[in-house]
Structure 1
Amino acid sequence: MPELPLSNGFVLSPVERSDRDAIVEHLQDREIWRNTLYIPYPYTEEDADTWIEGRINHRRDQPAEVTFALRNPDEKLIGVVGADDLEVGTTHRANLGYWLAKPYWGRGLMTRAARRYTRYAFDHLEVVRLTAEVFSWNQASARVLEKLGFQREGRLRKHREKDGDLVDVLYYGLLRDDFRPEA
């Protein structure tokens, strides 16, 4: 499986069973849950086991990895970036998702990771379009996408349910031809 280097010892590499404790630890943070679409809260060991096994089984059937762990220089998982449901070769588009452990926020790390993943997706996953949904209050995530050249294509009003409320989502898209790999 590929390892995608970033800088300063950070890398993207496949998710492994040994990542369970780090995933559970980081996803206890309610702010991460608040800003993501599908991560449950509180996050349990069972949730982690189910997700990790799903990733391992999915990659067994794919010609290329579609979801990566973001690892610090000590090789500890500190986030995830990918397109979990992408079946390579069956569609021209994929939905990008990501999260980052709170101690690493505000350092530009997710921008670097998402940029590297986006380059990989366009080069190896047979997609020509990436999309992403961001809750309307999550301006940091919106900035990550905009730095990569994603265009805001709309605001989907009361599109998702979060914590019992219907909330707005900002919808972003990026075509391969519009990607800024080194911006």
Structure 2
Amino acid sequence: MVELRNYQIEIAKQYAEYRNNPIIFDNGYDKVPNPFTLKDAKEFINLQLKKELPQRKLIYWKGQFVGEIGIEIKEDVFRLSAEMGYFIGEPFWGKGIASKAIKLMTDYVFNNFNIIRIEAGVFDFNKPSMRVLEKNDFSLESIKRNAVIKNGKIINDHIWVKLKELKE
């Protein structure tokens, strides 16, 4: 069973271990420290604990911490949109956890925030992430060609989107 929980400082060591995986780093933004230390984990978790309405959640599977998922709400004219990001610790890949977590987070976001559009950017080579978004009724909206430089390589960014059903 997959569930989303609020952050707890007790998982900092495991969070740092999962987050510090080079494969996970390769699929994310460079603003994430590399290596990702226990100090980084504690600082990040403490930031999350201060938020009144959490935009990020921990992913648990069968009662065990396995990853994280969250949104960043955009600003200005894009303020009704959010960008979603997530990771699952490598020991738990291939178990359908990300797909269930995306469903739970999408429902949470649409029910708790004034958001009508969730998007997720996925680098060219991350086919598993594209599959879990597609399973959750996200649509491939665009491919931003040569939009990303990661590890010295220029790659495409696939933009997947899910829209909230608006009531007329």
TM-score, normalised relative to structure 2: 0.88
Flag as ranges the 4+ runs of structure 1 deviating above 4 A: none
Alpha-carbon distance in structure 1 between the residues aligned to 2:151 and 2:33:
10
- 1:115 partner letter: K
- Structure 2: runs of 5+ lacking an equivalent: none
- Structure 1: runs of 5+ lacking an equivalent: 1-6, 179-183
- 2:80 partner letter: H
- 1:73 partner letter: K
- Check if 1:56 corresponds to 2:49: yes
Question: How far 1:45 sits from its partner (Å)?
Answer: 1.6
Deviations 1:6-28 (A, max 9, x none): x2xx3210112112101111123
Task: Tell me which residue corresponds to 1:28.
Answer: 20
Task: Tell me which residue corresponds to 2:136.
Answer: 148
Question: How far 1:158 sits from its partner (Å)?
Answer: 2.1
Task: Tell me which residue corresponds to 1:174.
Answer: 162
Question: How far 1:50 sits from its partner (Å)?
Answer: 2.4
Alpha-carbon distance in structure 2 between the residues aligned to 1:165 and 1:97:
21
Task: Tell me which residue corresponds to 2:4.
Answer: 12
Deviations 1:33-67 (A, max 9, x none): 1122243322112221221122123x13xxx2211
Question: How far 1:103 sits from its partner (Å)?
Answer: 1.1
Give identity over the alignment, percent.
Answer: 25
Which of 25, 37, 40 pairs up with 2:33?
40
- 2:150 partner letter: K
Name whichever structure is richer in strand by fraction: 2
Question: How far 1:126 sits from its partner (Å)?
Answer: 1.7
Which of 65, 90, 93 pairs up with 1:77?
65
Q: Aligned residues, how many?
A: 163
- 2:34 partner letter: Y
Question: How far 1:99 sits from its partner (Å)?
Answer: 0.3
The root-mean-square deviation of aligned C-alpha atoms, in Å, is 2.1
